[in-house]
């Protein structure tokens, strides 16, 4: 399928007048709402359509006032969405629903960025974690956006993966926006109030995703907490040789040098409340055991709706189209409030 997709016409990063026509399928959800905001602030993107069955017919600006013009939400079929002629299509759908849209668009030019888990294990798709896979993403037509937890875990583990001894364990906590807008125990305030909810404690999709991408097994225990957005992932690992906090910090600094969407804070532990609205990720809390200096801990935080989804998708589109990777991501990151999410 990837061979039948041809590149969108673009003039490269030095042509500020060039604008890409983009569409979103799944614009009602929390991630779709963030994509609308980021597209509105991007100097090279122009929203052509936004698909949402529940909101069909309503002006997009009623839930996304950043969007100007008279575009209304549509309930476009996969064929109708493909016929819109966009140069970039974001699929912000629940898992298992993207393939019809991909098939319908397979003979048309343009970039497809799938934010679901449907193509993260498909080698025909570029895996869209720019800090680790930039060369493959540049010029790609099919991009599988990583999972939110998976992004945090891989950013924390990638600088160390060649020196790991045994299987690292990750304790993860997410805001309930990660459970989507469909009602479930993981986004029910009555269940989450004064509580933390463990779920899927073995074989989580993001556990398999990280192992697949890094080529090293991990263990992952996900939890949901009663805040809206943000992720914190505490990684506990053992290295083959003893280390120090200074050495760990230097390794992370070198690895992410020139990667402005990853901030390294050394021993300082990043807080999940500070991740809300952050377009990138923060890695800190670097700790080495005094009893056994091979045993280390790392904390990674990010906004699950931004670096875990929407801002990463924009970063990927920029790379695919030859733009500056931070195009449209250098403005004030004002996140969408919970009551403006379109839920």
Q: Give the three-state DSSP class for 154.
A: helix
Within 13 Å, how many C-alpha atoms sit on residue 160's CB side? 31
Q: Give the three-state DSSP class for 239.
A: strand
User: Could you tell me how many residues make up the chain?
Assistant: 343
Within 13 Å, how many C-alpha atoms sit on residue 313's CB side? 33
How far is residue 14 from each of residues 1, 110, 322, 330, measured CA to CA in Å?
A: 30, 20, 9, 17
The helix (run of H) or strand (run of E) holding residue 22 is: strand 20-25
C-alpha 144/C-alpha 127 separation (Å) is 5
Six-digit token pair at 107? 């003979």
Which ranges constitute the DSSP H helices of the chain?
A: 30-40, 78-82, 99-104, 130-137, 148-157, 189-192, 205-214, 245-255, 272-275, 310-320
Residues 6+ apart with CB under 8 A from 182: 94
Is the dihedral angle over the CA atoms 263, 218, 277, 270 positive or is it negative? negative
Q: 275-306 burial string, b = 16+ CB within 10 Å, else e?
A: bbebbbbbbbbbbbeeeeebbbbbbbbbbbbb
Six-digit token pair at 255? 């690895």
148 is catalytic: yes
Catalytic residue among 51, 148, 169, 321: 148
Query: What's the angle, vertex CA 25, arms to CA 21 and CA 31, rounded to 5?
Result: 100
Name the residues annotated as catalytic: 148
């Amino acid at each position: 399928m990837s061979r039948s997709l041809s590149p969108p016409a673009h003039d490269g990063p030095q042509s500020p007048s060039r604008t890409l026509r983009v569409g979103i399928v799944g614009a009602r959800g929390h991630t779709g709402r963030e994509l609308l905001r980021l597209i509105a602030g991007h100097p090279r993107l122009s929203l052509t359509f936004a698909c949402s069955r529940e909101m069909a017919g309503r002006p997009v600006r009623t839930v996304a006032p950043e969007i100007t013009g008279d575009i209304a939400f549509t309930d476009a079929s996969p064929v109708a969405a493909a016929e819109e002629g966009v140069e970039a299509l974001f699929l912000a759908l629940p898992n298992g629903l993207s393939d019809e849209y991909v098939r319908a668009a397979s003979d048309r030019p343009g970039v497809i960025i799938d934010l679901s888990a449907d193509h993260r294990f498909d080698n025909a798709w570029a895996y869209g974690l720019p800090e680790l896979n930039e060369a493959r993403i540049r010029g790609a037509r099919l991009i599988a956006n990583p999972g939110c937890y998976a992004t945090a875990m891989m950013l924390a583990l990638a600088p160390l993966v060649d020196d790991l001894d045994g299987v690292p364990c990750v304790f993860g906590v997410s805001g309930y926006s990660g459970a989507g807008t469909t009602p479930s125990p993981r986004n029910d305030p009555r269940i989450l109030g004064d509580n933390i909810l463990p779920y899927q404690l073995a074989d989580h999709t993001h556990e398999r995703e990280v192992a697949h991408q890094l080529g090293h097994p991990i263990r992952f225990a996900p939890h949901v907490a009663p805040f809206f957005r943000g992720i914190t992932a505490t990684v506990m690992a053992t290295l083959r040789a003893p280390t120090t906090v200074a050495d760990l910090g230097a390794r992370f600094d070198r690895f992410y040098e020139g990667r402005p969407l990853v901030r390294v804070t050394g021993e300082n532990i990043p807080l999940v409340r500070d991740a809300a609205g952050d377009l990138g990720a923060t890695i800190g809390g670097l700790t080495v055991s005094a009893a056994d200096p091979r045993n280390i801990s790392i904390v990674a935080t990010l906004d699950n709706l931004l670096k875990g989804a929407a801002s990463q998708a924009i970063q990927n589109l920029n790379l695919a189209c030859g733009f500056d990777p931070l195009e449209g991501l250098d403005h004030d990151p004002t996140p969408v409030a919970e009551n403006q999410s379109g839920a």
